[in-house]
């Protein structure tokens, strides 16, 4: 079994930290249809420009 260890030094710096681990098996996150993802990115960029024009403060920048 694989172990996930958090050293005591971490708790000294971040005493209230909450750490979780997710183990996923059988996942294929390869891109099957790039055009679908390209369209989603274009749509998000379009929405971001609209929000900025309206004066909303948040954006989708990296």
- Kindly indicate the confidence band of residue 45, based on its pLDDT and cuts at 50, 70 and 90: low
Single pTM value for the model: 0.35
Count of C-beta atoms within a 10 Å radius of residue 33: 8
Cα distance between residue 22 and residue 53, in whole Å:
39
What local confidence, expressed as pLDDT, does residue 59 receive? Answer: 46
Alpha helices in 18-62 (DSSP H): 34-54
**For residue 5, pLDDT beyond 70:** yes
């Amino acid at each position: 079994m694989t172990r996930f260890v958090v050293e005591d030094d971490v708790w000294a710096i971040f005493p209230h930290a909450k750490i979780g681990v997710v183990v996923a098996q059988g996942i294929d996150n390869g891109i099957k249809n790039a055009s679908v993802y390209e369209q989603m990115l274009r749509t998000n960029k379009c929405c971001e420009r609209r929000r900025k024009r309206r004066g909303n403060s948040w954006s989708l920048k990296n």
